[in-house]
Amino acid sequence: MRFFSGKSTQARWFKAILAALCATLLACSDNNSQKHLAQAKAKPDPYTIRFVTINSPSTYFIDSQNNYAGLEYDLAKRFVAFLGPPYKLEFIVVDSFDKVFPTLLRGDADIAAADISITPARKRQVLFGPAFNQVQAMVVYNRDKNSEPNTGEALFEKRIVLPKSTSFVDRMRELQSKSPALTWKETDKLSSEQLIEAVARNEIDFTVADNHLVAIMQYNYPQLDAGMMLGQADKIAWALNKLHGEERLAQMQAFFKKIEKDGTLRNLLDRYHGHTKRLKPVDVTAFLSKSHTLLPKYVRLFKSAQEITDIDWRLLAALSYQESHWDNYSTSPTNVRGLMMLTEQTSNMMNVTDRLDPKQSVMAGAKFLLWMKDRIPSRIPEPDRTFMTLAAYNNGVGHLEDARIIAQKLGLNPDSWADVKRGYQLLNDPAYYVNAKHGYCSCGAPVIYTELVRSYYQIMQKYFPAYDPGVDPYKIAETKMPWLLAKAS
């Protein structure tokens, strides 16, 4: 066995200690460098406004044309434009409402915009901007499977699932204080929209949602209905971090004051929610039934018309349904006929020889709709220009222009469909129609007509894919969720 001398041993210990010390200093240096890098990376750009939101029809989504859409998205985009250069917009989309406030409070977002109800508990956490919408929490049920719930007792021993950390949980707790036997599950895995779909498919018995989302979902699932209201109506607003939100709050207040005064807010609310009460469940059921029995015979014609006019075939199909319910032999008392219910004058204009010929009717109707659109000022933004085109298809460009002039005289925006609707409704009032170029009009009709076409178009967008000329998309099977209760637990 070999022994080391004392001097050699001391040297080895010294070297070991020195190496350890160097390693520690290097590690500390590396850690400090990493911390500085992380801090530099995490430091937000003061000119980038970061909005945290969720995907839903009421907030933020990608529409059928692959464009970003949603009430919260449109408001956020306009807010950043209001602030002007060099401000930029950034969206942070979290996968559940449960993550919205944590993202805001830890400083990863500047504004929470996720259809947020103002509640006393939340006011202790965050700053709220001006309220811009009002909603009512409703118990959602499937009328084919359950009776309308009117009391807390009607919810006993039922499969109830709520989205976690929402105001709906607070509302149910208030109800539970009066009906202690009431129980439910909460989930951060499924959105309100997905839970409503689960009710429609009888995977759960009840959920709670805002009335405007229920109205949108009823167009897709006519078996849905809203039962009792829970609590009072809630106001919707954006939320800010209390630690550094005061300056942003002042900007927000100025922005909402402006868009409320100039009609932009009214127009956006109408764009997303103005048509959602036009159809009754029986209307939706009939439409869905005929979309499986009658529509397939004419899909190719609508798509061919899209190739010529560049008008979404689903909009043309929705218009045709409103006109004739896809009855090729439909004839009105005023002798408008066919799938697109063409007048003799329109038929002559479009060189139609037989209005009962589906091919001629669809193509002529699409071309006439495009011709109408060309008569409307191109400065009018979408989708308002399309809405006005639909009204003109029903009742002529002349009455549309009269309605726009009335809207302008009332101090409203003649390029906003929400405001032009008001002008239309006054064309049966002598105080207005005596000075209108085209005189009296029972012009509630084109308003209702347009809203109904919008409603049918929305349903078409849900169930039928967009058409890309030259590419015939595969039909996608409907998704089921038998795993819902497992994920919700």
Q: Determine which one of 323, 382, 401, 451 is catalytic.
A: 323
Residue 181's CB: how many other CB atoms inside 10 A? 10
Contact by Cβ (8 Å): 52, 108: yes
Instruction: Give pLDDT, residue 12.
Output: 46
Question: Among residues 477, 382, 451, which one has the least CA distance to residue 67?
Answer: 382
List the alpha helices (DSSP H) in 159-245: 167-178, 192-200, 211-218
CA distances to 235, 237, 486 from 172, in Å: 18, 22, 22
Residue 34 corresponds to which amino acid? Q
Structure-block tokens of residue 102: 């944590």
On whether the pTM is more than 0.85, the answer is: no
Strand partners, 225: 141
Closest to 438 measured CA to CA, from 403, 469, 399? 399
Q: What per-residue confidence (pLDDT) applies to 335? A: 86
Whether 193 is catalytic: no
Instruction: Give the integer Cα–Cα distance in Å for 92 and 83.
Output: 19
Predicted confidence at residue 134, as pLDDT, reads 95
What's residue 333's pLDDT? 80
Backbone angles phi, psi at 426, to 5 degrees: -95, 0
CB 252 within 8 A of CB 238: yes
Please give the structure tokens belonging to residue 47: 């000119």
Structure tokens at 446: 């084109």
Give me the DSSP letters along 306-324: HHHH---HHHHHHHHHHHH
How far is 313 from 14, CA to CA, in rounded Å?
83
How would you write the pLDDT of the chain (489 residues) with one tens digit per residue?
A: 332 334 443 444 444 444 444 444 444 444 444 444 334 345 678 899 999 999 998 899 987 667 899 999 999 999 999 999 999 999 999 999 999 999 999 999 999 999 999 999 999 999 999 999 999 999 999 999 999 999 999 999 999 999 999 999 999 999 999 999 999 999 999 999 999 999 999 999 999 999 999 998 998 899 999 999 999 999 999 999 998 888 899 999 999 999 999 989 998 998 888 887 778 889 999 999 999 999 999 999 999 999 999 999 999 999 999 999 999 998 888 789 999 999 999 999 999 999 999 999 999 999 999 999 999 999 999 999 999 999 999 989 999 999 999 999 999 999 999 999 999 989 988 888 888 898 888 888 899 999 999 999 999 998 999 998 866 543 333 333 333 334 333
